[in-house]
Amino acid sequence: MRTYAAEEGGGHILLPPLAEIIVGLVAFGLVCFVLMKFVFPRMEQTFQARVEAIEGGLKRAEEAQAEANRLLEQYRAQLAEARTEAARIRDEARAEAAAIRDDMLAKAAEERDRIIAAGREQLAAERQTLIRELRAEIGSLAVELAGRIVGESLEEEARRRGTVDRFLAELDAQPAGSGGR
Amino acid sequence: MSGQPTVFAAEFPPGTDSFEFDSLIPALRDTAAATLVTKITLLVWIAVAALIIFFLVAYRDPKIVPTRAQWMAESLYGAIRDGVCREVIGREGVRFAPYLTTLFCFILLTNLFGIIPFAQISPNSHIAFPAVLAVITYVVYIWLGIKKHGFFGYLKMSTIPPGTPILLLPIMIPIEFIQNLIMRPVTLAVRLFANMFAGHMVLLVFILGGVALFEAENFLLRPVSLLSWATAIAMTFFELVVQILQAYVFTLLTATYIQSSIAEEH
């Protein structure tokens, strides 16, 4: 194992050799020149461009947001309008349906009344016919019956006929409750 | 003095010789230009080339949405621009960001050579390089101060602290003068140099010490070499932190000095 004593004092390490100073100046100068001329100014430009891009992007985003809000409002208004319209149409339809129904009910009632009235009229007419037939028949039956009871024909006698008619007229003149029903 | 300090474990304990490298061009040995082309200067040129290539390639076609390399380059610049220039100097400081970023990157990379395999020594462990950088910082901040306040205005500003009683002026003026105009660049250079020098020395001590222990005649000492090497590994991580920190400190102090030069008078 060899050992060497350090050079006396070793103070020369604080004395820079001229050649190294020159190398240091030239080398650092070169780095400074290239980086400060070609690299860092462009970096500042890029930073600036980036800031502008971001700010521009924010502005565009704000505009898009505003546009979206405007459209949303518009759609909401339209939607509300459509709802009102729908409600109106619905009310109208309901009213119309009610009107139709009332109309039909009225018509049906009218028809019913008409049918009932017709039925009544017919009944009344038939009753009149029946009454008329019955009157004729009852007249002849009564005459025939009276003839048999009296024992002689009374047909020739016009007075008799008058008597029967008078008799029937008297029947008619009586209150309606006893004869017609 | 050893002629071959780069030979593996050639010497123990390491001394200042460990920082001296022969010229890579044999013809230049023992001439005044002996230090012109050595491992150290070669590393400096490699750093120069690496920085220029990295930044030019990363920024050959900048995009609003950055690529990975572009993002890395921008992060470095942005860290110094916003973390140092704006913080220390203020809004005006952004115009110094290119220089300070260059300074930071150059120091950081040359520092990192201290632990990068095969390089394994930082050029900043030679006082010449920190001195050059410190002198540039010095010239820049003096020049900015004179430009802003005029020669005497700046001299007054940097030698007389505001509110100093007149009786104290004879003491304060020399102290402030030495501190602001002489010691600043010296401490700046020596701080970086000494850190890198000491870091390299510490690594040499543990690595070469491990070798020395491994080769020890007393075989009981030999296992201790493992401890030594383990410490060397730990110190390598420690060095990484120191290297980054010193690059940052150098940049931060430069920014502080620039700020003090262009500040309004108190």
Local mean pLDDT, 10-residue blocks, chain A (181 residues): 42 82 94 93 90 90 94 95 95 95 94 94 92 84 78 62 77 62 44
Q: Does B84 touch chain A (CB under 8 A)?
A: no
Q: Find how far residue B222's CA is from the centre of its chain.
A: 37
Residue-averaged pLDDT of chain B:
89
Per-residue exposure over A42-81, b if at least 16 CB sit within 10 Å of its own CB, e if not = ebeebbeebeeeeeeeeeeeeeeeeeeeeeeeeeeeeeee
**Domain total of chain A:** 1
Q: Are A21 and B44 in contact (CB under 8 A)?
A: no
Residue B77: Cβ-neighbour burial (10 angstroms; 0-12, 13-18, 19+): buried
Three-state SS string over A19-61 comes to HHHHHHHHHHHHHHHHHHHHHHHHHHHHHHHHHHHHHHHHHHH
Residues of B in Cβ contact (< 8 Å) with A11: none
Instruction: Kindly state whether residue A11 falls inside one of the protein's structural domains.
Output: no
Tell me: pLDDT of B50 over 60. yes
Instruction: Kindly state whether residue A5 falls inside one of the protein's structural domains.
Output: no
Nearest Cα residue in chain A from B62: A46
Query: How much is the average pLDDT of B160-164?
Result: 84
B142 residue type, one letter: I
Instruction: Kindly state whether residue A146 falls inside one of the protein's structural domains.
Output: yes
Name which of B12, B17, B77 is nearest A43 (Cβ-Cβ). Answer: B77
Query: What pLDDT, on the 0 to 100 scale, is given for residue A181?
Result: 44
* Alpha-carbon span A138 to A132, nearest angstrom: 10
Query: What pLDDT, on the 0 to 100 scale, is given for residue B215?
Result: 86
Res. B256 pLDDT band, cuts 50 70 90: very high
- Whether the link from the prior residue into B13 is cis, omega within 30° of 0, is yes
Q: In chain B, how many H helices and how many E strands? A: 8, 0
Instruction: Kindly state whether residue A8 falls inside one of the protein's structural domains.
Output: no
Tell me: pLDDT of B10 over 80. no
Chain B nearest C-alpha distance from A34 (Å): 7
Residues of B in Cβ contact (< 8 Å) with A25: 132
Query: What pLDDT, on the 0 to 100 scale, is given for residue B218?
Result: 85
Specify the higher pLDDT residue, B146 or A173: B146
B59 residue type, one letter: Y
* Alpha-carbon span B223 to B214, nearest angstrom: 7
- Decide if A35 and B74 are in contact by the 8 Å CB cutoff: no
Q: Does B249 touch chain A (CB under 8 A)?
A: no
* Alpha-carbon span A48 to A61, nearest angstrom: 20
What token pair was written down for A122? 């017919």
**Cβ-Cβ contacts under 8 Å for B197 (sequence gap 6 or more):** A13, B19, B125
Q: Are B246 and B188 in contact (CB under 8 A)?
A: no
* Alpha-carbon span A60 to B71, nearest angstrom: 26
Instruction: Kindly state whether residue A10 falls inside one of the protein's structural domains.
Output: no
Query: What whole-number percentage of chain B has pLDDT above 90?
Result: 62
User: A82 to each of A3, A70, A87, B265, how far by Cα in Å?
Assistant: 103, 18, 8, 74
* Alpha-carbon span B210 to B222, nearest angstrom: 8
- Decide if A7 and B15 are in contact by the 8 Å CB cutoff: yes
Q: In chain A, how many H helices and how many E strands? A: 4, 0
Specify the higher pLDDT residue, B160 or A99: A99
Per-residue exposure over B166-182, b if at least 16 CB sit within 10 Å of its own CB, e if not = eeeeeeebeebeeebbe
Query: What pLDDT, on the 0 to 100 scale, is given for residue A141?
Result: 82
Collapsing DSSP states into helix, strand and coil, what is residue A177?
helix
Classify residue B5 by its DSSP letter.
T
Tens-digit pLDDT profile for residues B19-40: 888 888 888 887 777 788 889 9
Which residue reads 């007419």 in tokens?
Answer: A125
Tell me: pLDDT of B219 over 50. yes
Classify residue A9 by its DSSP letter.
S
Nearest to B84 by CA among B240, B256, B230, B242: B256
**Which helix (H) or strand (E) is B179 found in, with range?**
none
Instruction: Kindly state whether residue A73 falls inside one of the protein's structural domains.
Output: yes
Query: What pLDDT, on the 0 to 100 scale, is given for residue B165?
Result: 87
Specify the higher pLDDT residue, B132 or B166: B132
- Decide if B102 and A42 are in contact by the 8 Å CB cutoff: no
Among residues 17-76 of chain A, which lie with CB inside 8 Å of chain B? Answer: 17-25, 27-28, 30-32, 34-36, 38-47, 49-50, 53
Residues of A in Cβ contact (< 8 Å) with B2: 4
Domain range for A51: 38-176
* Alpha-carbon span A161 to A151, nearest angstrom: 17
Query: How much is the average pLDDT of B84-90?
Result: 92
Query: How much is the average pLDDT of B198-227?
Result: 90
Instruction: Kindly state whether residue A9 falls inside one of the protein's structural domains.
Output: no
Chain A nearest C-alpha distance from B155 (Å): 27
Query: What pLDDT, on the 0 to 100 scale, is given for residue B266?
Result: 55
Which residue reads 């460990």 in tokens?
Answer: B18
Tens-digit pLDDT profile for residues B168-203: 888 889 999 999 889 999 999 999 999 999 999 999
Tell me: pLDDT of B107 over 50. yes
Nearest Cα residue in chain B from A15: B127
Tell me: pLDDT of B112 over 90. yes
pTM confidence score: 0.71
Res. B11 pLDDT band, cuts 50 70 90: low
Nearest to A15 by CA among B140, B196, B193: B193
Query: What pLDDT, on the 0 to 100 scale, is given for residue B151?
Result: 92
Q: What is the CA radius of gyration of chain A?
A: 66
Nearest Cα residue in chain B from A40: B98
Instruction: Kindly state whether residue A103 falls inside one of the protein's structural domains.
Output: yes
